[in-house]
A and B are shown apart, each in its own frame.
Chain A
Amino acid sequence: MALAPTVQLLAALSAVAALLVLAVAGAVLARGPLGRPVVYGGALAVTLLAAVSALTAIPAPIGGLVLPLGIPWIGANLRLDALSAVFLVVVNLGGAAASLYGLGYGRHDHAPERVLPFFPAFLAGMNLVPLAADAYTFLLAWEFMSLASWALVISHDKEAGNVQAGLVYILMASFGTLALMLAFGLLAAGGGGFTFEAMRAAPPTGWAGAVVLVLALLGAGSKAGLVPLHVWLPLAHPAAPSHVSALMSGVMTKVAVYGFIRIVFDLAGPPDWWWGIPVIVAGAIAGVVGVLQALLQSDTKRVLAFSTIENIGLIFVGLGLALAFKASGFGGAAALAFTAALFHVFNHAAMKSLLFFGAGAVLTATGSRVMDRLGGLIHRMPVTSVVMLIGAAAISALPPLNGFASEWLVFQAILLSPELPAWGLKLSVPAAGALLALAAALAAACFVRLYGIVFLGRPRSEQAANAHEVDAFSRAAMIALAAICVAAGLFPGLVIDALQPAVTALIGVKMPAQSEVAWLSIVPVAESRSSYNGLLVFLFIASSALLTAFIIHRLATGAVRRAPPWDCGFPNADPVTQYSAGSFAQPIRRVFARTLFAARERVEMPPPGSLAPARIEITARDPAWAFLFLPLAGLVERIATRANRLQYLTIRQYLALVFGALVLLLLVLALWT
């Protein structure tokens, strides 16, 4: 059945083409004065239009198109359905915000020719992945996205560690693509061919479906940052310029989530009962491990990168629950869990981009990402400090902001899961719920620490004391995203309703329409069961706070006197006596990280009378590195050293090797049949 191209599909394809043109323009104009305004301004216009067009495409009929590109007998199959449209909205909203931010932030880039060509190319790749409807186009777009972002990761190649980060990233990206390639191979082996339509018509049976699930979890999970395939993420995301970090953390991980949903929910056929378990377990582990490691970091952008791993974990728990419910035939519950995951995809894209922009603004203003060199910025950067506070509260899942609304939906889905008949799920789901609750509480601790050290207190360095607010473009981008966070938190019903066409397409059932509920509440199942009204909670808090302030100022007193800090009578003028990033995390490090990450503190106290400074050294290791990747790297190294001898053979020995290989291959061929 051939689908007709819709207006929105053509618009989305034009957006990809326009972004590719901008990439070329970026390469040509990079060194000139026009480069930055043309590339970022153009990308802003294109992504904004593409976002609007994709928004109208969510409830619209499916559009399809085959272009005579790529492999001749397949062509480039393109398709725009509700799920693709939802993710295109996320990609292009994030892209528009990053472009707007880049207009100002790019001014400080000392090597624009290393960023300007790749930025629109990266956006084009992320726009093409959701449109692809055959394995070849999908993998091509996926790899294009990976390579463009890799080029951006190593754009500041003079800074220590960035090239190394790029190497780890490209290795993990190749591994992920390999896993996806194998998954598509298995899907195509069902009989049809490499188009998604053929795969959908002949889904894999028996063990092949299970292997596809595992490969999708590895392939998409490595891109999204699931533990233990997350190791590249905290290296690569902070290495890129901040607006690109925002795109990688906020948007590219969501494209990876899209890949997982497309393969597992759409192409792999009806799920088995146990499919949800590995997804839920992987998500719950990523949630806790991600946020705990975020608490141990002292670099602002690394904190944010690790926090991305936590949020991806929450999304995967939602997806795993949806799989489990779908397999057991609980359509309504599956729709709830799937909606929660998609809602969090949207929310995290907005708040993580906002937080990375804020970290970029701090970097611009002070030249530092090290938390222990910052402090007191709330006085110097009034706008950035307010929007960062909104972002930090949103990602800590505090009502009435958007992060809480999606987390609340996930909890509601968990509360429906005792209905699931399988024992494996009965035991793993409550444990995952406890881990998610732990991750949410730790996230709040993590962002109290980040915000408290960077924006509050007294400045810990000269640069922090003399910081200035950033330019108007950057401020506008941050304010826009903060407004989205607040709006999605106050009116969650609107977002939930907008997502329903995608939910219906993949689950077959949708959630009850929220726009019909009185007072803009959200009621996921039934009114007697649970309901939440973000707007009303906000109004209650705001009105009682204002009322209290008014009454106190009117009836009691509003007098204020400024004085030196009290600090129990021993105020110390030196800012280094404040709590630092390391000391703030000390209690949590001792409680949680001692066994999990082998976190150790070594204190060196000089003897009395000595003038040497006292030192504290904190070490922690990531178990994924210690137990998986370093041994693997060692193994590769050993094999390579052994194989090195093959380079120094005589010509006779080489000929003997060729002969041996030939015989072996012929033997295999003979025995195969």
Chain B
Amino acid sequence: MANLQIANLLVQGTQMLLVLALAPLLTGLVRKVKARLTRRRGASVFQPYRDLARLLNKEAVLAHNASWLFRAVPYLLFAATWVAAALVPTFGTGLIFSWSADLIVITALLGSARFFLALAGMDVGTSFGGIGSSREVMISSLAEPAMIMIVFSLALVAHSTQLSTIASVMVAGVGLRVSLALALVALAIVAVAENGRIPVDNPATHLELTMVHEAMVLEYSGRHLALIELAAQLKLLLFISLVACVFVPWGLAPAGAGAGAVVLGMASYGAKLAAGAVLLAVFETSIAKMRVFRVPDFLGAALMLGLLGTLLLFVSRIL
């Protein structure tokens, strides 16, 4: 028992550092693949690390009327995202603290992070901050309920909202199910929206009027901006890990597994991340950005798919 606890603590600690270390690399990889797909050479996959290091060492420029909230939000945002990312199984399910927060809590943690970032966008009192915040809350007002519906579908299949339990159930195999297929499509749409990727938002845009996330953080600089960027990278990693651990759980090391299983888990996790990055880059390159007021239709589809999946499971346990 005590050995299992120590092993789980090790897994938890490794995971916390692993997600932090891999998140910039994942973003770098997506950018690199996108560049190659558009026939550019692109920056090195390690460029995000250099960006972060440079931002961290610069002084932070604050507007004259920025309040304490503006300075506190980057830390809160980063901490909430990091904690959430640390609770999603990556290479193994034996996370010692997974019982402290289930998938609903993880969703809500991301919601908290967004709540505070949207407030920070309004703190300085510029019109671009307001436009970003107001669009962000509109998008999240549809993405969050869709996410909750996806959680419901998964929880009804696995009889649990604990992510470790869900992952173990999925490893054991639940067969092909209509409800899970609907949940997967919905989760893909939500992941795209939550991470501000094309077609909902464009992370590389330079036109303020089309910005959502970037407009919110327009006033940030230096270490604050570094933390916000890192949090965004962690969030992308979190969503890819979530899809991986629920829908392609093969290779996950079970709780208390030996070193061999852990190495296998890490290798398969790396492969899944790379596959996720390539898929995202291909998707983003092959589609155009939507107008802001088309986004609700897109996300409404996710909400309806999630609800349909849940309804199917209410009607029959085997669908």
Give me the interface of A with B, judged by CB distance under 8 Å: 375-376, 378-379, 389, 393, 396-399, 404, 408, 411-412, 414-415, 417-418, 426-427, 429-431, 433-434, 437-438, 440-442, 444-445, 447-449, 451-453, 456-458, 519, 521, 527-533, 536-537, 540-542, 544-546, 548-549, 552, 556-557, 559-568, 571-572, 575, 577-579, 583-588, 590-591
Can you report 19 residue pairs joining A to B where beta carbons are below 8 Å apart? Answer: A398-B108, A427-B311, A434-B149, A434-B307, A437-B145, A440-B144, A447-B115, A448-B137, A449-B134, A451-B119, A521-B100, A544-B79, A559-B60, A563-B64, A565-B63, A577-B127, A584-B134, A587-B138, A591-B296
Contacts of B57 in A (CB 8 A): 556-557
> Do B119 and A456 touch (CB < 8 A)?
yes
- Whether a CB of chain A sits under 8 angstroms from the CB of B285 is no
Alpha-carbon separation in the docked complex, A412 to B156 (Å): 11
- Whether a CB of chain A sits under 8 angstroms from the CB of B213 is no
- Whether a CB of chain A sits under 8 angstroms from the CB of B162 is yes
- Whether a CB of chain A sits under 8 angstroms from the CB of B301 is no
> Do A565 and B296 touch (CB < 8 A)?
no
Instruction: Tell me how far the C-beta of A423 lies from the nearest C-beta in chain B, rounded to whole angstroms.
Output: 8
Contacts of A560 in B (CB 8 A): 59-62
> Do B69 and A456 touch (CB < 8 A)?
yes
Alpha-carbon separation in the docked complex, A501 to B242 (Å): 40
Contacts of A442 in B (CB 8 A): 141
> Do B104 and A531 touch (CB < 8 A)?
no
> Do A415 and B311 touch (CB < 8 A)?
no
Contacts of A437 in B (CB 8 A): 144-145, 148-149
Report if A568-B125 is in contact (Cβ < 8 Å); known contacts: A379-B67, A437-B145, A444-B137: no
Contacts of A448 in B (CB 8 A): 115, 118-119, 122, 133, 137
- Whether a CB of chain A sits under 8 angstroms from the CB of B303 is yes
Report if A429-B137 is in contact (Cβ < 8 Å); known contacts: A399-B108, A567-B126: no
> Do B64 and A564 touch (CB < 8 A)?
yes
Residue in B closest to A451 when the chains form the complex, CB atoms? B119
Q: Which of B122, B311, B317 is within 8 Å of A452, CB to CB?
A: B122
> Do B119 and A438 touch (CB < 8 A)?
no
Within 8 A of A (CB), among B218-264: 218-219, 222-223, 227
> Do B293 and A590 touch (CB < 8 A)?
yes
> Do B142 and A530 touch (CB < 8 A)?
no
Alpha-carbon separation in the docked complex, A452 to B119 (Å): 6
Alpha-carbon separation in the docked complex, A549 to B134 (Å): 28
> Do B119 and A537 touch (CB < 8 A)?
no
Report if A445-B140 is in contact (Cβ < 8 Å); known contacts: A415-B155, A456-B119, A578-B126: yes
> Do A429 and B314 touch (CB < 8 A)?
yes
Instruction: Tell me how far the C-beta of A563 lies from the nearest C-beta in chain B, rounded to whole angstroms.
Output: 5
Alpha-carbon separation in the docked complex, A587 to B299 (Å): 14
The 3 closest A-B pairs by CB, nearest first: A579-B130, A457-B125, A452-B122
Report if A444-B138 is in contact (Cβ < 8 Å); known contacts: A378-B67, A532-B102, A537-B109: no
> Do A562 and B67 touch (CB < 8 A)?
no
> Do A545 and B78 touch (CB < 8 A)?
yes
Contacts of B293 in A (CB 8 A): 587, 590-591
Alpha-carbon separation in the docked complex, A9 to B181 (Å): 58
Alpha-carbon separation in the docked complex, A549 to B76 (Å): 10
- Whether a CB of chain A sits under 8 angstroms from the CB of B152 is yes
Q: How many chain B residues have a CB neighbour from A under 8 Å?
A: 85
Contacts of B145 in A (CB 8 A): 434, 437-438, 440-441
Instruction: Tell me how far the C-beta of B128 lies from the nearest C-beta in chain A, rounded to whole angstroms.
Output: 6
> Do A563 and B63 touch (CB < 8 A)?
yes
Instruction: Tell me how far the C-beta of A340 lies from the nearest C-beta in chain B, rounded to whole angstroms.
Output: 13
Give the dominant DSSP class at B's interface.
Answer: helix
Instruction: Tell me how far the C-beta of A240 lies from the nearest C-beta in chain B, rounded to whole angstroms.
Output: 29
Instruction: Tell me how far the C-beta of B246 lies from the nearest C-beta in chain A, rounded to whole angstroms.
Output: 16
Task: List 4 extra interface pairs beyond A415-B161, A426-B315, CB under 8 A.
Answer: A448-B118, A564-B64, A578-B127, A579-B129
Contacts of B156 in A (CB 8 A): 415, 418
- Whether a CB of chain A sits under 8 angstroms from the CB of B46 is no
Instruction: Tell me how far the C-beta of A226 lies from the nearest C-beta in chain B, rounded to whole angstroms.
Output: 21
- Whether a CB of chain A sits under 8 angstroms from the CB of B80 is yes
> Do B317 and A418 touch (CB < 8 A)?
yes
> Do B310 and A549 touch (CB < 8 A)?
no
> Do A530 and B162 touch (CB < 8 A)?
yes
Instruction: Tell me how far the C-beta of A449 lies from the nearest C-beta in chain B, rounded to whole angstroms.
Output: 7
Contacts of A527 in B (CB 8 A): 99
> Do A397 and B133 touch (CB < 8 A)?
no
Alpha-carbon separation in the docked complex, A542 to B213 (Å): 24
Instruction: Tell me how far the C-beta of A538 lies from the nearest C-beta in chain B, rounded to whole angstroms.
Output: 10
> Do B131 and A541 touch (CB < 8 A)?
no
Contacts of A564 in B (CB 8 A): 63-64
Q: Which of A562, A577, A586 is within 8 Å of B62, CB to CB?
A: A562
Contacts of A568 in B (CB 8 A): 128, 208, 218
- Whether a CB of chain A sits under 8 angstroms from the CB of B65 is yes
- Whether a CB of chain A sits under 8 angstroms from the CB of B159 is yes
Instruction: Tell me how far the C-beta of A274 lies from the nearest C-beta in chain B, rounded to whole angstroms.
Output: 16
Residue in B closest to A566 when the chains form the complex, CB atoms? B219
- Whether a CB of chain A sits under 8 angstroms from the CB of B111 is yes
Report if A411-B104 is in contact (Cβ < 8 Å); known contacts: A437-B149, A445-B140: yes
> Do B223 and A531 touch (CB < 8 A)?
no
Q: Which of A376, A444, A447, A519 is within 8 Å of B125, CB to CB?
A: A376
Q: Which of A398, A566, A567, A591 is within 8 Å of B138, CB to CB?
A: A591
> Do A541 and B101 touch (CB < 8 A)?
no
> Do A567 and B218 touch (CB < 8 A)?
yes
- Whether a CB of chain A sits under 8 angstroms from the CB of B112 is yes
Instruction: Tell me how far the C-beta of A596 lies from the nearest C-beta in chain B, rounded to whole angstroms.
Output: 14
- Whether a CB of chain A sits under 8 angstroms from the CB of B160 is yes
Contacts of A565 in B (CB 8 A): 63-65, 124-126, 219
Alpha-carbon separation in the docked complex, A449 to B121 (Å): 11
Alpha-carbon separation in the docked complex, A565 to B61 (Å): 9
Contacts of A418 in B (CB 8 A): 156, 313-314, 317
Contacts of A531 in B (CB 8 A): 99-100, 102, 162
Residue in B closest to A458 when the chains form the complex, CB atoms? B125
Residue in B closest to A588 when the chains form the complex, CB atoms? B138
> Do A562 and B59 touch (CB < 8 A)?
no
Alpha-carbon separation in the docked complex, A404 to B148 (Å): 14
Alpha-carbon separation in the docked complex, A404 to B144 (Å): 14
Q: Which of B101, B130, B152 is within 8 Å of A578, CB to CB?
A: B130
Alpha-carbon separation in the docked complex, A561 to B137 (Å): 30
Q: Which of B65, B128, B292 is within 8 Å of A458, CB to CB?
A: B65
Instruction: Tell me how far the C-beta of B98 lies from the nearest C-beta in chain A, rounded to whole angstroms.
Output: 9
> Do A456 and B123 touch (CB < 8 A)?
yes
Report if A417-B314 is in contact (Cβ < 8 Å); known contacts: A398-B111, A531-B162, A563-B61: yes
Contacts of A579 in B (CB 8 A): 122, 127, 129-131, 133-134
